[in-house]
């Protein structure tokens, strides 16, 4: 989240799209209710299904899964056509005045630079026009035809209300009603927030979708404002923490993984340290060398020296264009290219797309270690044919599977201390409530004992690639069981000579005199102690920021980009909702997202970006500088905007035996998968209370479709995709309205996840149905909007 | 006299998350039960002997579009309680000083009259124990100054616990707010026909409480009123006469012989 849960209560309009917080974040949803009670805020809900969030909304718009960019593009168009943007904000805090090089354009589904043979873009025509000193040329009036603002206007000119309604499937009136509410926040004294979750990230164009939301919020002046922002509601208690720590194809603190062509640390730093594009850009990522060297010192301690590039050569490097994200390594596994897998707190058989592919991939491994609280589908994947009976008749029988499987019992969240990072970026320390049962061990003990045994094996027997392991620093009181206090102190980092804990990331050095496990967590455990364990309830700004409750990354900042909450002179857009105040010599309030004593005019408000301002136009992503509507990989219609380039041309396509895509003639209905309040992922089916509240798998079928097919409530139905099928009772409902798209009726079918072939309550794995299709930037699978057929079982 | 306590359910803030259901099950140590699918998000079709707090989900078509109403259902703790009127077993159903209607398990004889007497169809007979159960408004928690478990668990402050007088005031104020927002039918449901209930509801569509699964005009059946009213002495005569007759019969005839093939 750019802002945070408590801050949602400061909003005037709340757009919930690509998420369903009443069901999936019911506790956080109290702040939505508070905004409605306290400020008479309006709740707009855009969703294929009339959800429990929709049930308490002021304005509900039904939509076809996978058409969010069309809807948001329509909002951008609506704001530009009706002159509803916050002009001063856009001029001062965004790259709207920046000029783009001559030659940039978009036509028939492709931006300029498309190379059909490579299946990718040459991005040179997307770059800014620079002056002789290397800074971007600007037109403060925004009138230059090559200014970002004019290009934006031109790009979204096609997204008229009629075009939106035709793609999305709602009525024009429904769209306009929502647009009027959302656009009403383009005034200095009104703010709107956006809450989203996996309904936005699980698409083959997800990153661009969220970019579209950022553009919308920037036009309305809602970024940096209390009650504003673009707010991702994270799904698991510590998924934000695992992202911050680089568990997903990154290094900690969002540092990029080294590539094979970055032969030296210097190469790596050169490629990943941006240069300022405007004279007033602070360009905080220019500190990348300090972050990276301090991280290497944390990894390799004494073994990291200036002479050996601080151990840079110990880091694995991926091929120049290689991706080792989830989708790609499972694809490699399915081709037999991986020897083993340690699945730590992860259940890929259940939560990965295309279950048959997951099962087949695991069967190719020599060994599999699963570390879990329960015996999951992944731990017992080799029994799938037996336990999942008819769903996996083509899968190998247990006797045929050679994979050696280990299930290590792990302590659950309540049985270990440590920190949870919530959606608000609050790093909250917790204490173990009870000891782990039986032989269950804490994560750190499992990792440490694996490491120590591996080290001693390498020392005794030698072997390839031992150096990174042997040189790793493991400087803990009990190396077989580090305390998480020790680890957290290391993540915060310290001065190596004085052994003093770092106060802030500004103290980091690139000469190897500081170490830090994650630069964005600098300040979480200082000489004053564990900041994450703080429980102060003071609220000096009156905005519900609670600066003394736990610790928020970065720098205990509660609202990101908060400098943008004020104008050029530092005067807040809304005096009643000012997270920051400038007194002539310094900023007070929230931790400023700015130099604390820099005058309002001296720097750009977006200090992390080389532009110094926020990007309406961003050449950083694969598909193009502006988000464009592409259909899901499986869609009932050709893209009404450009039939020839219907789907995201950059979405990776796999060609294995399991990677089948269906067509609308065989699979006419759109399906979406989602979670229910009653369960937590594939976990609570092992627990009594969760199982009781929602015992049964079911399929939600629109009333009209049920009538057409002769399906009555409770009838057993079979949903089939090009990959597999599921079966369960039909929940016939009015809450999924049939939509009109391109002059025809489109039905959507809802399929909740949560069941599987092991657990106290059982049901089919819905990922039997889902395709191995991913967002090219993030690698997230497309679970929202794929094609199925429906029949009575 | 102790203050009458009450629970306020503001259905406009209910998101059907079922935290109240879990809290109720856990506080009361209820057994696990496998649910049955019945075309709804609702945990089970109706209250059960071991499930006292159920959110009812109702899909309704309104002129402005679909509406999905969620309202928690449990014992209403009526001022004039039909169950209490109907109960023949001394001490099995009691009305506490604070207004809570409590079922006392050890005194219950499992006759099920309270079920007939309840205008809200709340009490449930357990076939296993042959006794009747329902929400106690956590009288055990309330007695030591805690709020009921469901109230504590509610994330959206849809549930409030307090004195009946305070909550009635809050409820009316909230209904007024809703009417000002344009929901002209908004109002408070306070168990008409049973002298008021200690469970109050704020409803957007107060003119159609049946949309939420609440009876529009709850009434204690006339048979029950009669049974505990004018006919009580008749009933008592018949009841105790029956026992007397049984004793006389026993003394005269002796115990019934059980046969092997019974």
Instruction: Report pLDDT digits (tens) over A571-587.
Output: 999 999 999 999 999 99
CATH code where residue A178 lies? 3.40.228.10
**A694–B43 CB contact, under 8 Å:** yes
User: Quick check: A687 contacting B, CB < 8 Å?
Assistant: no
pLDDT band at B34 (very low <50, low <70, confident <90, very high): confident
Q: What is the pLDDT of residue B234?
A: 66
The answer to which of A36-40, A632-636, B51-55 has the lowest mean pLDDT is A36-40
User: Quick check: A171 contacting B, CB < 8 Å?
Assistant: no
CATH code where residue B92 lies? 3.30.70.20
The sign of the dihedral angle between the CA atoms of A590, A592, A597, A600 is negative
- Residue after which a domain boundary falls, among A235, A259, A289: A235
**B32–A735 CB contact, under 8 Å:** no
**B15–A55 CB contact, under 8 Å:** yes
Q: Which of A52, A56, A695 sits opposite B35 (nearest CB)?
A: A695
Q: CA angle, corner A112, sides to A111 and A115, nearest 5?
A: 95
8 Å CB contact between A222 and A191:
yes
Residues in chain A, overall count: 793
Q: What is the pLDDT of residue A698?
A: 97
Instruction: Characterize A172-185 residue by residue with b for buried, 16 or more Cβ atoms within 10 angstroms of its Cβ, and e for exposed.
Output: eebbbbbbebbbeb
**What residues make up the domain containing A698?**
643-792
| Residue B80 burial class via C-beta count within 10 angstroms: exposed 0-12, middle 13-18, buried 19 and up | middle
B231 pLDDT exceeds 70?
no
Q: Which of A269, A263, A316, A325 has its CA nearest to residue A293?
A: A269
User: Quick check: A173 contacting B, CB < 8 Å?
Assistant: no
Rounded to whole angstroms, the Cα distance separating A272 from A165 reads 42
User: Quick check: A679 contacting B, CB < 8 Å?
Assistant: no
Report yes or no on A18 lying in a domain. yes
- The helix (H) or strand (E) run that includes residue A792 is strand A784-792
Q: Taking CB atoms and an 8 Å cutoff, what residues of chain B touch A27?
A: 155
CATH code where residue A701 lies? 2.40.40.20
Report yes or no on A612 lying in a domain. no
For residue A332, the Cα-to-chain-centroid distance in whole angstroms is 24
Using a pLDDT cut of 90, give the percent of chain A over it.
95
Q: What is the pLDDT of residue A438?
A: 96
DSSP codes of every residue in A708-776 = HHTPPTT-EEEEE-SS-EEEEEEEEESSS--EEETTEEE-EEEEE----SSSSS----GGGT--S-B-T
Question: In chain A, which residue's Cα lies nearest the Cα of B41?
Answer: A694
The arithmetic mean of pLDDT across residues A783-789, rounded, is: 98
User: Quick check: B182 contacting A, CB < 8 Å?
Assistant: no
The minimum CA-CA distance between A734 and chain B, rounded to whole Å, is 7
State the DSSP code for A638: -
State the DSSP code for B171: H
State the DSSP code for A13: E
Q: Are strands A13-17 and A42-47 parallel, antiparallel or unpaired?
A: parallel
Rounded to whole angstroms, the Cα distance separating A97 from A99 reads 7
User: Quick check: B61 contacting A, CB < 8 Å?
Assistant: yes
pLDDT in tens, B175-192: 999 999 999 999 999 987
Q: Which of B156, B173, B202, B203 to mutate to test the interface with A (most CBs of A within 10 A)?
A: B156
Q: What is the pLDDT of residue B235?
A: 62
Report yes or no on A147 lying in a domain. yes
pLDDT in tens, A305-323: 999 999 999 999 998 888 8
Q: Taking CB atoms and an 8 Å cutoff, what residues of chain B touch A729?
A: 37, 39
pLDDT in tens, A499-538: 999 999 999 999 999 999 999 999 999 999 999 999 999 9
A148 pLDDT exceeds 60?
yes
Report yes or no on A116 lying in a domain. yes
Q: CA angle, corner A484, sides to A481 and A489, nearest 5?
A: 125
Q: Which of A409, A351, A408, A362 has its CA nearest to residue A385?
A: A362
**B68–A50 CB contact, under 8 Å:** yes
Strand locations in A83-148 (E): 106-107, 110-111, 114-115, 120-121
User: Quick check: A222 contacting B, CB < 8 Å?
Assistant: no
Q: Which of B13, B16, B10, B11 has its CA nearest to residue B171?
A: B10
Q: Which of A689, A733, A737 sits opposite B26 (nearest CB)?
A: A689
Q: Which of A54, A676, A698 sits opposite B37 (nearest CB)?
A: A698
The pTM of the full predicted model, rounded to 2 decimals, is 0.95
**B34–A695 CB contact, under 8 Å:** yes
Rounded to whole angstroms, the Cα distance separating B12 from B1 reads 33
Q: What is the pLDDT of residue A322?
A: 83
User: Quick check: B222 contacting A, CB < 8 Å?
Assistant: no
User: Quick check: B176 contacting A, CB < 8 Å?
Assistant: no
Q: What is the pLDDT of residue B261?
A: 52
**B25–A689 CB contact, under 8 Å:** yes
**B15–A50 CB contact, under 8 Å:** no
Question: In chain B, which residue's Cα lies nearest the Cα of A701?
Answer: B39
Q: Which of A76, A125, A81, A77 has its CA nearest to residue A100?
A: A125
Q: Taking CB atoms and an 8 Å cutoff, what residues of chain B touch A60?
A: 65
Integer-rounded Cα Rg, in Å, for chain B is: 21
- Residue after which a domain boundary falls, among A235, A257, A285: A235
Rounded to whole angstroms, the Cα distance separating A79 from A226 reads 21
**B59–A733 CB contact, under 8 Å:** yes
8 Å CB contact between A645 and A106:
no
B260 pLDDT exceeds 60?
no
Q: Which of A732, A696, A700, A698 has its CA nearest to residue A713?
A: A732
Mean pLDDT for all residues in chain A? 96
Rounded to whole angstroms, the Cα distance separating A128 from A275 reads 13
The arithmetic mean of pLDDT across residues A236-245, rounded, is: 93
Rounded to whole angstroms, the Cα distance separating A442 from A446 reads 6
Report yes or no on B248 lying in a domain. no
Q: Which of B37, B66, B155 sits opposite A27 (nearest CB)?
A: B155
Report yes or no on B236 lying in a domain. no
Q: Which residue has the tokens 């009976």?
A: A389
Q: Taking CB atoms and an 8 Å cutoff, what residues of chain A touch B39?
A: 713-714, 729-732
8 Å CB contact between A768 and A757:
no
**A55–B16 CB contact, under 8 Å:** yes
Q: Which of A684, A688, A698, A760 has its CA nearest to residue A726?
A: A698
pLDDT in tens, A323-369: 888 889 899 999 999 999 999 989 999 999 999 999 999 999 999 99
The minimum CA-CA distance between A193 and chain B, rounded to whole Å, is 19
Question: In chain B, which residue's Cα lies nearest the Cα of A761?
Answer: B34
Q: Which of A474, A436, A394, A389 has its CA nearest to residue A757?
A: A389
User: Quick check: A714 contacting B, CB < 8 Å?
Assistant: yes
Q: Taking CB atoms and an 8 Å cutoff, what residues of chain B touch A738?
A: none
- Residue after which a domain boundary falls, among A201, A235, A269: A235
Mean pLDDT for all residues in chain B? 91
Q: Taking CB atoms and an 8 Å cutoff, what residues of chain A touch B32?
A: 688-689, 691-692
Q: Taking CB atoms and an 8 Å cutoff, what residues of chain B touch A53?
A: 15
B237 pLDDT exceeds 90?
no
8 Å CB contact between A352 and A722:
no
Q: Which of B18, B25, B32 sits opposite A678 (nearest CB)?
A: B18
Q: What is the pLDDT of residue B262?
A: 47
The minimum CA-CA distance between B198 and chain A, rounded to whole Å, is 24
User: Quick check: A761 contacting B, CB < 8 Å?
Assistant: yes
The arithmetic mean of pLDDT across residues A280-292, rounded, is: 98
pLDDT in tens, B74-122: 999 999 999 999 999 999 999 999 999 999 999 999 999 999 999 999 9
Q: Which of A22, A50, A676 sits opposite B15 (nearest CB)?
A: A22
Other CB atoms within a 10 A radius of the CB of residue A405 amount to 17
Q: Mind spelling out the 3-state secondary structure of A31-92?
A: HHHHHHHHHCCEEEEEECCCCHHHHCCCEEEECCCCCHHHHHHHHHHHHHHCCCCCHHHHHH
Q: What is the pLDDT of residue A639?
A: 98
**What residues make up the domain containing B192?**
1-220
Q: Which of B17, B26, B61 sits opposite A677 (nearest CB)?
A: B17
Query: Total domain count for chain B?
Result: 1
Token pair of A44 as six digits? 């707009």
Query: Total domain count for chain A?
Result: 2
Q: Which of B15, B43, B69 sits opposite A26 (nearest CB)?
A: B15
The answer to which of A7-21, A23-37, A572-586, B235-249 has the lowest mean pLDDT is B235-249
Question: In chain A, which residue's Cα lies nearest the Cα of B204?
Answer: A56
The answer to which of A90-99, A175-184, A458-467, B26-35 has the lowest mean pLDDT is B26-35
**B65–A29 CB contact, under 8 Å:** no
User: Quick check: A512 contacting B, CB < 8 Å?
Assistant: no
Question: In chain A, which residue's Cα lies nearest the Cα of B153?
Answer: A27
Using CA atoms, how far residue A187 sits from A182, A184, A575, A586, in Å, is 11, 7, 13, 27
Determine if the peptide bond prior to A586 is cis (ω within 30°).
no
State the DSSP code for A388: S
The minimum CA-CA distance between A736 and chain B, rounded to whole Å, is 10
Q: Which of A166, A204, A64, A108 has its CA nearest to residue A632?
A: A204
Q: What is the pLDDT of residue B257?
A: 63
Rounded to whole angstroms, the Cα distance separating A623 from A647 reads 11
The arithmetic mean of pLDDT across residues B36-55, rounded, is: 93
Number of H helices, E strands in chain A: 22, 29
The arithmetic mean of pLDDT across residues A180-205, rounded, is: 98
The arithmetic mean of pLDDT across residues A377-391, rounded, is: 93
User: Quick check: B20 contacting A, CB < 8 Å?
Assistant: no
Q: Could you tell me which residues come within 8 angstroms of residue A655 by beta carbon, excluding any fewer than 6 positions away?
A: none
The minimum CA-CA distance between A521 and chain B, rounded to whole Å, is 30
pLDDT in tens, A664-720: 999 999 999 999 999 999 999 998 877 888 999 999 999 999 999 999 999 999 999
User: Quick check: A322 contacting B, CB < 8 Å?
Assistant: no
**B65–A40 CB contact, under 8 Å:** no
């Amino acid at each position: 989240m750019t802002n945070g849960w408590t801050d949602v209560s400061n909003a005037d309009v709340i757009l919930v799209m690509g998420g369903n917080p009443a069901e999936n974040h019911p506790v956080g949803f109290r702040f939505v209710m508070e905004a409605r009670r306290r400020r008479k805020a309006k709740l707009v809900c855009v969703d294929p299904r009339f959800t429990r969030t929709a049930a308490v909304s002021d304005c509900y718009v039904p939509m076809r899964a996978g058409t969010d960019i069309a809807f948001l593009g329509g909002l951008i168009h609506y704001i530009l056509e009706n002159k509803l943007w916050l002009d001063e904000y856009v001029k001062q805090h965004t790259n709207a005045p920046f000029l783009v090089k001559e030659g940039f354009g978009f036509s028939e589904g492709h931006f300029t630079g498309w190379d059909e043979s490579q299946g990718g873009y040459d991005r040179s025509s997307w770059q800014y026009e620079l002056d002789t000193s290397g800074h971007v040329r600007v037109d403060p009036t925004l009138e230059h035809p090559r200014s970002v603002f004019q290009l934006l206007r031109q790009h979204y000119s096609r997204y008229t209300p009629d075009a939106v309604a035709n793609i999305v499937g709602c009525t024009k009136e429904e769209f306009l009603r929502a647009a009027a509410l959302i656009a009403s926040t383009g005034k200095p004294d009104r703010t709107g927030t956006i809450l989203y979750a996996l309904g936005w990230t699980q698409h083959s164009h997800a990153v661009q979708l969220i970019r579209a939301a950022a553009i919308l919020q920037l036009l309305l002046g809602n970024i940096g404002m209390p009650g504003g922002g673009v707010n991702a509601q994270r799904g698991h208690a510590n998924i934000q923490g695992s992202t911050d720590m680089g568990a997903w194809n990154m290094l900690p603190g969002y540092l990029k993984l080294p590539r094979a062509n970055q032969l030296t640390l210097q190469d790596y730093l050169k490629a990943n340290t941006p240069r300022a594009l405007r004279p007033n850009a602070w360009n905080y990522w220019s500190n990348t060398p300090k972050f990276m060297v301090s991280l290497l010192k944390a990894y390799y301690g004494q073994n990291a020296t200036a002479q050996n590039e601080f151990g840079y050569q110990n880091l694995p490097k991926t091929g120049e264009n290689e991706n080792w994200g989830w989708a790609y390594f499972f694809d490699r596994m399915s081709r037999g290219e991986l020897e083993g897998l340690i699945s730590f707190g992860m259940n890929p058989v259940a939560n990965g797309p295309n279950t048959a592919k997951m099962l087949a991939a695991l069967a190719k491994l020599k060994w599999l270690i699963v570390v879990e609280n329960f015996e999951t589908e992944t731990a017992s994947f080799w029994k799938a044919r037996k336990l999942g009976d008819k769903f996996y008749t083509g899968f190998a029988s247990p006797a045929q599977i050679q994979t050696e499987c280990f299930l290590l019992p792990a302590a659950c969240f309540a049985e270990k201390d440590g920190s949870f990072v919530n959606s608000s970026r609050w790093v909250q320390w917790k204490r173990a409530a009870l000891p782990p049962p039986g032989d269950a061990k804490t994560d750190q003990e499992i990792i440490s004992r694996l490491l120590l045994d591996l080290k001693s094996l390498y020392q005794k027997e030698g072997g390839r690639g031992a150096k990174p392991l042997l040189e790793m620093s493991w400087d803990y009181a009990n190396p077989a069981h580090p305390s998480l206090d020790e680890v957290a102190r290391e993540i915060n980092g310290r001065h190596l000579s004085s052994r003093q804990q770092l106060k802030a990331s500004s103290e980091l050095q690139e000469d190897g005199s500081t170490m830090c496990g994650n630069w964005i967590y600098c300040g979480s455990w200082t000489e004053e102690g564990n900041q994450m364990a703080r429980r102060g309830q003071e609220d000096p700004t009156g905005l519900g920021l609670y600066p003394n409750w736990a610790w928020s990354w970065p720098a205990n900042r509660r609202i990101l980009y908060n400098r943008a909450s004020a104008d050029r002179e530092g005067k807040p857009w809304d005096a009643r909702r000012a997270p920051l105040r400038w007194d002539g010599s310094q900023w007070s309030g929230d931790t400023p997202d700015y130099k604390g004593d820099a005058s309002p005019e001296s720097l750009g408000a977006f200090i992390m970006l080389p532009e110094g301002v926020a990007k309406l136009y961003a050449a950083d992503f694969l598909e193009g500088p502006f988000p464009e509507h592409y259909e899901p990989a499986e869609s009932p219609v050709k893209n009404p905007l450009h039939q020839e380039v219907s789907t995201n041309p950059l979405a990776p396509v796999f060609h294995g035996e399991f990677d089948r895509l269906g067509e609308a003639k065989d699979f006419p209905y759109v399906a979406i998968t989602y979670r229910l309040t009653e369960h937590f992922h594939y976990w609570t089916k092992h627990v009594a209370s969760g199982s009781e509240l929602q015992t049964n798998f079911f399929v939600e079928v629109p009333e009209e479709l049920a009538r057409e097919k002769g399906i009555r409530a409770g009838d057993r139905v079979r949903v089939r995709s090009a990959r597999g099928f599921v079966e369960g009772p039909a929940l016939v409902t009015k809450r999924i309205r049939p939509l009109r798209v391109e002059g025809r009726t489109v039905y959507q079918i809802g399929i909740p996840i949560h069941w599987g072939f092991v657990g106290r309550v059982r049901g089919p794995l819905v990922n039997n149905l889902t395709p191995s299709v991913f967002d090219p930037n993030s690698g997230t699978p497309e679970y929202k909007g794929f094609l199925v057929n429906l029949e009575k079982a | 006299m102790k203050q009458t306590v009450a629970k306020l359910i503001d259905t406009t803030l209910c998101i059907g998350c079922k935290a109240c259901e879990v809290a109720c099950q856990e506080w009361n140590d209820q057994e696990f039960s496998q649910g049955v699918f019945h075309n709804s998000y609702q945990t089970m079709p109706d209250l059960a002997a071991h499930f006292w707090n159920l959110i009812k989900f109702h899909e309704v078509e309104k002129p402005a579009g679909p509406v999905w109403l969620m309202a928690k259902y449990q014992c209403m703790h009526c001022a004039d309680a039909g169950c209490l009127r109907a109960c023949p077993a001394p001490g099995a159903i009691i009305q506490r000083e604070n207004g809570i209607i409590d079922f006392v398990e050890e005194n219950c004889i499992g006759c099920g009259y309270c079920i007939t007497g309840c205008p809200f169809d709340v009490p449930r007979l357990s076939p296993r124990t042959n006794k009747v159960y329902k929400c106690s408004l956590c009288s055990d928690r309330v007695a030591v100054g805690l709020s009921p478990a469901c109230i504590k668990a509610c994330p959206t402050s849809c549930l409030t616990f307090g004195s009946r007088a305070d909550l009635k005031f809050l409820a009316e104020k909230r209904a007024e707010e809703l009417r000002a927002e344009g929901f002209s039918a908004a109002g408070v449901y306070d168990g008409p026909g049973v002298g008021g209930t200690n469970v109050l509801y704020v409803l957007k569509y107060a003119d159609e409480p049946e949309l939420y699964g609440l009876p529009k005009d709850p009434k204690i059946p006339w048979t029950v009123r009669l049974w505990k009213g004018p006919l009580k002495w008749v009933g008592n005569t018949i009841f105790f006469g029956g026992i007397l007759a049984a004793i006389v019969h026993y003394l005269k005839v002796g115990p019934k012989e059980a046969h092997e093939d019974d």
